[in-house]
Amino acid sequence: MYGERELEAFVAVVDSGSVSLAAERLIRTQPTVSRQIASLERRVGAALFRRLPGGMVTTYAGERLEPMARDLVRRGRRAREVMNGIVQEQRSFVAAAPEMTSVLVLAPFIARGGPISDVMIASPVETYDRLRAGADIAITTAPPSPRLRGTRVLTMPLLCQLPASHPLADREHVELRELLAGPFLTAGKGSAAWAQIQQAAEGEGWSLEMASLGADAPIIQARSAAGHGPCVVVEPPRFGLVSRQLRHHGETMRCALYASWERTHYAGDDIRRVVRQLTEYVASHVPALYPEGTYAVHG
C-alpha cells in the first residue's frame, strides 16, 4: 500500500511543479517532501518525475499514478471527515452546484446551520459529474438520471427581466411569442431556461434566431440593462431591471431545482434528511428574494 502522506506529497508536487512549493502548500519541510517522493518511487518501482530546469514533470508512471493518487487522497480525507462527524455527532456533506445556486440557495442555508461543509462549483451540465469527484449531493436544475436518488427541491418560474423603459415592461407578464419577436438573452447549453424555451419554441415551429446565449445570470442581466434586449433567468433582478413571469399560452413557464445523490452512498439516509431540511428552507427563503407577484412555489 502507498502511504497517504506520500500520495499527498506526490499530488502537491504535480500541482505546483516543485518540491519547495509543494512543501509550502502542505506545511512540511522541503527535505520531508523529497523523502516522501523518494519513498513513493521506491514503492512504485519507477521514477515518477523528471527533474527539469523549469520544474518537475511527471514520467509515464507518474501520469498513470496521478488520477489514482488524487482519488485515494480524496477518499482518505473524506473518511476522516465522516468519522469525525460520527464521533462528534455532527454530520456534514459536500454539495456540487452551479455558482448562482451556491450563492442564492446553499450559502444562506449553510449560514442558518445547514450541514454542508463545502460546495464544488460546476456548470449545470457538469454538476452530476462532481458526485464522482468528491461531492455527496448535487443541486442543479438538470433532471437526475435514473441511476441516482433524487428529489425536486423547488419549482421556479422563468422570469423575463428587462429595463423599465422596454415596451414589454408595462405587461403583468410576458408571453413567449412576444419575447421571441425581438432580441433576447438567456443562459446557454445546460441551462434550464434555455431548455424550456427551446422545447416550447420547437413545438410551435417558432424561430430562435433572435436569441443570444450568454454565460451566467449576472452578465446576462447586465447586458439586458445595457439595452441588448430582455433576458430570461430564474435569479432575482439586478441592475434596475423589472421582472415579469414568462408565459406560454397563458401558463407560467417553469423549471425545477433537484437534489440528487448516489444510490449506494454510505450516508443515504442522512443525505435524505439534509435534502428535506434544504427543501423546507428554500420554500420560505427563496421567494422572499423576488419582487411580489413574480415568484410562486409549486412543489
Using only C-alpha atoms, the chain has a radius of gyration, in whole angstroms, of: 24
Residues 6+ apart with CB under 8 A from 81: 92, 117
- Phi/psi region, residue 254 (left: phi>0; alpha: psi -120 to 50; beta: rest), is beta
pLDDT at 221: 92
If one counts every other C-beta atom within 10 angstroms of the C-beta of residue 184, the result is: 25
- Please report the pLDDT score of residue 264 as a whole number: 84
The secondary structure of the chain in percent helix, strand, coil, rounded to multiples of 5, reads 45, 25, 30
One-letter amino acid for residue 75 of the chain:
R
Q: Tell me the three state secondary structure of residue 119.
A: strand
Q: Could you give the CA distance from residue 152 to residue 299 in angstroms, rounded to a whole number?
A: 7
Q: What is the pLDDT of residue 299?
A: 47
**Which of 136, 139, 131, 137 lies closest to 103 in space, CA to CA?**
139
Domains and CATH numbers, the chain: 4-88 (1.10.10.10), 93-155+255-289 (3.40.190.10), 159-252 (3.40.190.10)
Split the chain (299 residues) into runs of 10 and give each run's mean pLDDT: 86 91 90 92 91 88 90 74 57 84 90 89 85 86 87 89 92 90 83 85 88 84 92 90 92 90 84 90 81 63
DSSP letters of 143-167? Answer: PPPTTEEEEEEEEEE-EEEE-TTSG
pLDDT, residue 34, reads: 92
Pairing outcome for strands 242-248 and 251-252: antiparallel
Alpha-carbon distance of 231 to 161, in angstroms, equals 5
pLDDT of residue 90: 56
Distance CA 207, CA 209 (A): 6
Q: Report residue 7 as a C-alpha cell.
A: 500520495
